[in-house]
Amino acid sequence: MSFENLGLSQPVLQALEQKNYTVATPIQTQAIPLVLAGRDLLGIAQTGTGKTAAFMLPSIDRLREADRQTPFKSARMLVLAPTRELAGQIAKSAEDYGGFTGLKVDVVVGGTSVGRDRNKLHRGTDILVATPGRLLDLVDQKAFRLDGIEILVLDEADQMLDLGFIHALRKLVALMPKERQTLLFSATMPGSIKDLSKQYLTNPAHVSVAPAATTAERVEQFVTLVSQSEKQALLELMLKQRYPQTEGMDRVLIFTRTKHGADRVVKKLAQASIQSDAIHGNKSQPQRERALANFKSGRVKILVATDIAARGIDIPGVSHVINFELPNVAEQYVHRIGRTARAGADGIALTLCAEDERAYLRDIQKLTGVTCTRLPLPDNFRAFIEDAPIVRPKGNPGQVQNAPRQKVQPKPIGDRRNDRGPRQDQRQGERTGERQGDRAGKPAGGGQNRRRRFGKGPGGGGNGGGNFQRRSRG
């Protein structure tokens, strides 16, 4: 259906035309009229089907028609997202869709300057996209109020309402007006989380364009059974396109279960002369933004990530998703492989399954109702592992390696006071030799210095000697 038939205003339609969006997706066709009517909404759709536009387009029209003044230290519309990357993407979409309406859009996430966020929100904003942790910090510091919220959106609602966010959500929602519109969108909605969401919605309309936890139809799914110790070697074969279903790799997204696992994969790929970047929670915000920018621009073709990047991040042109480690939560698998086959394109998902991960694989296939096609190990896989060098040289291929420098063992702390360097040691030796030579050419009585200090002779004659003897007796 065309966007013109959904009741959107002319400024919004003009922004969509500028982005060459003409036909609405199924979730947008069902959700936009309900949101325009002011209904609370619970929407479930496959990832990559346009959930952001489904709630942002009608909400912009409602804010524009209400034409209320921007509240001081508050916002009219609040969108809460589980990750910084998703929050930034939603804010960018809001700026694009509302470019002809004059609405102000801001985003606050963790990992950035709190003082800058306070100054940004001092005069208020129309649309605020935030992560729960940073928003709660600003509320506790009296830098932001929630009494001006007209529309509340929880994107990726299953994770937002999970135990890790429920306490922050309860504190934030308690400070919002009772009379508001609340929208929840996600690709998955487990039954227990759905029951928990009832306390945030009032007589909600339910929209579902696909069964919960249904994977994208255009994603071909394959699995290879391999031992944990051999996964890295098989991954290198895949990235070198020496394995089935790896032809035409353009951008590859590799998922690990842990942050340290992601860093380990990047390090091992670098030793095999394969360039890649990592993105996970331990990376700073600038590092994460730089890694995503390099991946989107094609400067880096391989991105290794934890599930932080599986939540709604729109990365165009991802041809392959590789599950280096299976997620221990089956719903995360749907979000992972949803990074490919976006906007009508095709995609391939490859999974490396170890012996201790087969239970996770069974849970995933039971949840999605899809049995992954099994791929055997290549015929030359064992030979490839045996011939692979245990230690690979660092640096670029063909680069001349310098001889390793010998490490200088530090001296004990007690000896460092005498460590003056070679030149000072030489000077010290010269001074010592001069003093020894002077002593060799002078009488045993002590020379002039001794006579000046203690008198003319050992008998104590003269003023110096007499004084010394009297002082000694006293």
pLDDT tens readout for residues 203-220: 999 998 866 556 667 789
What residues does each domain of the chain span?
Answer: 3-208, 219-387
Residue 40 scores a pLDDT above 90: yes
Confidence class of residue 391 from pLDDT cuts 50, 70 and 90? very low
Write out pLDDT tens, residues 159-188: 776 657 788 888 999 999 999 999 988 766
Shortest CA distance to 308 belongs to which of 287, 294, 300?
A: 287
> Residue 407: its pLDDT value, please?
57
Q: What is the identity of the amino acid at 328?
A: N
Banded pLDDT at 329 (limits 50, 70, 90):
confident
Whether the CB-CB separation of 112 and 84 falls below 8 Å is answered with: no
Q: How confident is the model at residue 459 (pLDDT cuts 50, 70, 90)?
A: very low
Q: Given pLDDT bands bounded at 50, 70 and 90, which one contains residue 390?
A: very low
Model-level pTM? 0.67
Q: What is the CATH number of domain 3-208?
A: 3.40.50.300
pLDDT tens digits, 74-111? 999 999 998 888 899 899 999 999 999 999 999 999 88
Nearest Cα to 361, choosing from 306, 370, 321? 370
- List Cβ neighbours of 58 (8 Å cut-off, separation of 6 or more): 8, 31, 32, 33, 35, 36
Output the pLDDT for position 399: 42
pLDDT, residue 392, reads 44
CATH no. for 219-387: 3.40.50.300
Average confidence (pLDDT) over 17-44? 92
**Confidence tier at 45 by pLDDT (50, 70, 90):** confident
User: How far apart (Å, rounded) are the C-alpha atoms in residues 306 and 58?
Assistant: 33
Evaluate if residue 284 carries a pLDDT over 60.
Answer: yes
Kindly state the helix (H) or strand (E) to which residue 77 belongs, with its residue range.
Answer: strand 75-80
> Residue 176: what pLDDT?
95
- CATH topology agreement for domains 3-208 and 219-387: yes
- For residue 155, is pLDDT > 80? yes
